Amino acid sequence: MELEIRNVKKSFGDKEVLHGISFDVKSGQALGLLGRNGAGKTTAIRIIMDVFRADSGEILLDGKLFKPGKYKMGYLPEERGLYPKRTVMDQMVFLARLKGMNRSDAVKSSQKWLERIGVTEYASRKLETLSKGNQQKVQLAATLVSDPDIIVLDEPFSGLDPVNSQVLKDVVNELIGIGKIVIFSSHQMGYVEEFCDSIAIIHNGEIVLFGNLREIKRQYGRNRLILSAANYDLDALSGKMQELAGDILSVTGRINSAVILTAFDNVSKKAILERIINSDIEIDKFGTYEPSLNDIFVDKAGDEQ
């Protein structure tokens, strides 16, 4: 399956929140849908989930108009929404039946997912008596209890300790492996890099970057090098490199204890290295710079809104 969002616009009153966004995601892949608070990310998710209707544009599934009622969808919202005073099993079964399961299948699926995420022992307890982490795991189980085709996970790792985070990681990888469509939204860029084949960054209601994450990193790293020195601090090293090789490169950034160099077109890494070797710089690290997703996100969405 392939889910396509095409030129979707949405306004609330006089304010247009989405200005014609487009992206797509395929079965067996995870899309990282990223954006700062207020960028339009949650609105986009709610349109996909049919909570809001778009003012214009369309959502397609395998080239045909997407009708959410014909497909099972699982949504883990950032603001959790289960019933604190109902038992875990009761609300799992209730939610499964809302998605069309008969009672017998709903009970079996609930038992399966509670066991899978390790909270079977809490099945008869009220949700409010569980720790925050276990409540989060129950919320995930409730998202998956109806065996959805399309799964949207909004900040799924919030509140989880490392052990429970690993349980969730395993589940997400299993979902991707069996061909589910997964849309993953988080401000924790490390998790997005771990799971997502592609990313879409929303900024001020527009998609400012969309594509395969590996290819995006490759493009961002083009002509860029990273250099650190044992005998220069960052300020001195930046100045030294600009003085030494300002005709073939520019100093374009810093990361940790190194400077980022951007070579001018047609300038080889070898030419730059020769300049460094023939200077008094004691090389600690030198090589191709591959930006993190956090670096890319800040570059595309880091200006003031």
Is there a single domain that holds both residue 83 and residue 129?
yes
Is there a single domain that holds both residue 270 and residue 175?
no
Distance CA(305)–CA(293), nearest Å, equals 20
The total domain count for the chain is 2
CB 24 within 8 A of CB 3: yes
The reported pLDDT for the residue numbered 303 is 65
Could you tell me if residue 12 is inside a domain?
A: yes
Q: Which of 211, 238, 271 is the last residue of a domain?
A: 211
Tell me, what CATH number does 233's domain have?
3.30.70
Average pLDDT value for residue range 167-190: 90
Tens of pLDDT along 234-253? Answer: 999 999 999 999 999 999 88
pLDDT at 305 over 70: no
Tens of pLDDT along 35-49? Answer: 998 889 999 999 998
Q: Which of 152, 177, 211 is the last residue of a domain?
A: 211
Is there a single domain that holds both residue 207 and residue 240?
no
Is there a single domain that holds both residue 61 and residue 188?
yes
Tell me, what CATH number does 181's domain have?
3.40.50.300
Is there a single domain that holds both residue 205 and residue 296?
no
Show the domain range for 202: 2-211
Could you tell me if residue 216 is inside a domain?
A: no
Average pLDDT value for residue range 105-110: 95
Distance CA(301)–CA(36), nearest Å, equals 7
Phi, psi of 264 (to 5 degrees): -70, 160
Mean per-residue pLDDT over the chain, rounded:
91
- 3-state secondary structure (DSSP) of residue 115: helix
Could you tell me if residue 217 is inside a domain?
A: no
Residue type, 206: E
The reported pLDDT for the residue numbered 190 is 87
Tens of pLDDT along 52-70? Answer: 899 999 999 999 999 877 8
Give which of 127, 131, 148 is closest to 72, Cα–Cα. 148
Is there a single domain that holds both residue 134 and residue 58?
yes
Q: How many CB atoms lie within 10 A of CB 241?
A: 24
Is there a single domain that holds both residue 77 and residue 185?
yes
CA dihedral of 70, 4, 190, 252, whole degrees rounded to 10: -170
Q: Where are the beta strands (DSSP E) in the chain?
A: 2-12, 15-26, 29-35, 56-61, 64-65, 73-76, 150-154, 181-185, 198-203, 206-212, 224-229, 249-255, 258-263, 283-288
Is there a single domain that holds both residue 29 and residue 97?
yes
Is there a single domain that holds both residue 28 and residue 105?
yes
Q: Is the entire prediction scored with pTM above 0.95?
A: no
Is there a single domain that holds both residue 66 and residue 35?
yes
Token pair for residue 289? Answer: 């710079």
Distance CA(176)–CA(181), nearest Å, equals 7
Is there a single domain that holds both residue 143 and residue 88?
yes
Is there a single domain that holds both residue 76 and residue 190?
yes
Average pLDDT value for residue range 123-133: 91
Could you tell me if residue 34 is inside a domain?
A: yes
Could you tell me if residue 237 is inside a domain?
A: yes
Could you tell me if residue 23 is inside a domain?
A: yes
